[in-house]
Homo-oligomer: A and B are copies of this chain.
Amino acid sequence: MNTYGDKFRLTTYGESHGLAVGAVIDGCPAGVSIDMEAIDAALKRRRGGAPRQEEDRIEWLSGLSDGITLGTPIAFSIHNRDTRPEDYAHLEHLFRPGHADYTYYMKYGVRDHNGGGRASARETVARVVAGAIAMQLMPEVSVRSEALCGRSKVADDTVGGMVRCSVTGVAAGVGEPLFGKLNAALASAMMSIPSAIGFEMGSGFAAARMKGSEYIDRWNSDGTTKTNHCGGVQGGITNGMPIEFTVAFHPVVSLPQPVECLHENGSLETVSIGGRHDTHHIERATAVVEAMTALCLINYML
C-alpha cells in the first residue's frame, strides 16, 4: 500500500537505488500558490547531516501552473543522483539483523539486497514534499516538533530517541468517532515512519499510572483546560487545545561495527554492512513526523 489518505491522497513511488522517487497527490484544491522555499527547507531538514548528500531537485510533472495548483493531480519526481548499489553486493545472500531484509523476503520470496528498495528511508522524501504542500493548505495551523536523543552518542554505535510534536491552531471538533479517531490516525501515520516503535498522546504511558482525579483536564470557563494530559483529543475529536503526542524511534539498525548476519543457507556470518548510514536519525525524523502530521490532519480538515 503506497497510498496515504482518502481526501488528500498521496501515492508515492520509487526505489532507493532506482532512477527517481516521487509521488502523485490527488485531492489538492485549486488556486493555492505553493511556496517552493518552504518545501526546500523541509527537504533540507530531512537530509540533515545524512551521509548520502543529495540535493533533492523536484521536477513538477503536473498539477501546477506558475506555481499555483490547478486542482488536478500534482505529480513530481526527484531523480536519485548518488546511488551506489555496489555498496551492497556483499549482502546478496545475507539477512542483516534489525532490518526488513528477512521479512520482505518471507513475504515476497525475492531478495532486495541493494539498499532497501522501498523500505529505505529514501522514500520519505516524497512524504516531506507532500507534507509541506499540505501544511500550506492550513495556514492557521502550526506544527512544531523537537528531537530528543535517547542517549548520548557513542563511538561505533547508534542511538534512537523520541520526537515530541505539538500542533496549534486546530479548532475544536476535528476528528471522527469510533474507527476514524484522529488519535488512531495519528498513531498509524507515525508508526508508518521507518524506525518508529512507540506512540503516545499527551501524557501517554505516564497517564496509565495516574489516578483519575490527577488525569482529567480541568476546565477553564472558556472551554480550554488547565492541563492537557489527553493531548488535545477526546473521543477521537479535537477539543481545541494543542494536539500533543510523542513518537519513539528505535536506534539506527545499520551499525558502524561488524554484525552477525543470517546467511540464506542458515549459517551466521559476521560482516561490516557498509553503505552510508547515520549513527543517529532523530533530528532528521522531525521533518518526517511533521510531514506525516500535516498529511494526517489535512485529510480531516478538507
Q: A98-B216, A215-B251 are in contact. Are A221 and B118 (CB under 8 A)?
A: no
A129 located at the interface, meaning its Cβ lies under 8 Å from any Cβ of chain B in the complex: no
Question: CB within 8 Å of B: which of A1-26?
Answer: 1-4, 9, 11-15, 18-24, 26
Interface string of A281-297 (1 = CB under 8 A from B): 00000000000000000
Select one of B97, B151, B233 contacting A211, CB under 8 A: B151
- When C-beta atoms are compared, the residue in chain B nearest to A229 turns out to be B250
Chain B residues whose C-beta falls within 8 Å of the C-beta of A74 in the assembled complex: 13
A238 located at the interface, meaning its Cβ lies under 8 Å from any Cβ of chain B in the complex: yes
Interface string of A178-198 (1 = CB under 8 A from B): 111101111111111010111
Contact B215 A30 (CB under 8 A): no
A169 located at the interface, meaning its Cβ lies under 8 Å from any Cβ of chain B in the complex: no
A83 located at the interface, meaning its Cβ lies under 8 Å from any Cβ of chain B in the complex: no
Contact B103 A239 (CB under 8 A): yes
Contact A118 B177 (CB under 8 A): yes
Question: CB within 8 Å of B: which of A241-282?
Answer: 248-253, 255, 257, 259-262, 266-268, 279
Contact B192 A181 (CB under 8 A): yes
A145 located at the interface, meaning its Cβ lies under 8 Å from any Cβ of chain B in the complex: no
A160 located at the interface, meaning its Cβ lies under 8 Å from any Cβ of chain B in the complex: yes
**Interface of A, helix, strand, loop or mixed by DSSP:** mixed
Chain B residues whose C-beta falls within 8 Å of the C-beta of A250 in the assembled complex: 203, 207-208, 210, 215, 229-230
Question: CB within 8 Å of B: which of A62-121?
Answer: 62-63, 65, 70-75, 77, 95, 97-100, 102-104, 106-108, 110, 112, 117-119
Contact A1 B176 (CB under 8 A): yes
Q: A172-B106, A218-B97, A259-B216 are in contact. Are A200 and B203 (CB under 8 A)?
A: no
A173 located at the interface, meaning its Cβ lies under 8 Å from any Cβ of chain B in the complex: yes
Chain B residues whose C-beta falls within 8 Å of the C-beta of A65 in the assembled complex: 18
Contact B248 A179 (CB under 8 A): no
Contact B217 A117 (CB under 8 A): no
Q: A15-B72, A178-B123 are in contact. Are A251 and B104 (CB under 8 A)?
A: no
A31 located at the interface, meaning its Cβ lies under 8 Å from any Cβ of chain B in the complex: yes
Select one of B23, B97, B235, B259 contacting A119, CB under 8 A: B235
Bound Cα distance from A201 to B249, whole angstroms: 11
Contact B13 A207 (CB under 8 A): no
Select one of B123, B161, B194, B212 contacting A158, CB under 8 A: B212
Bound Cα distance from A184 to B184, whole angstroms: 9
A34 located at the interface, meaning its Cβ lies under 8 Å from any Cβ of chain B in the complex: no
A150 located at the interface, meaning its Cβ lies under 8 Å from any Cβ of chain B in the complex: yes
Select one of B14, B171, B186, B225 contacting A75, CB under 8 A: B14
Residue pairs across A and B with Cβ atoms less than 8 A apart, 29 shown, are: A1-B178, A3-B26, A9-B11, A11-B73, A12-B178, A14-B73, A18-B62, A19-B61, A20-B61, A20-B75, A23-B24, A72-B117, A102-B223, A103-B236, A106-B240, A157-B211, A160-B209, A183-B197, A184-B188, A194-B235, A197-B207, A198-B204, A199-B199, A207-B248, A207-B251, A208-B250, A212-B252, A212-B279, A213-B255
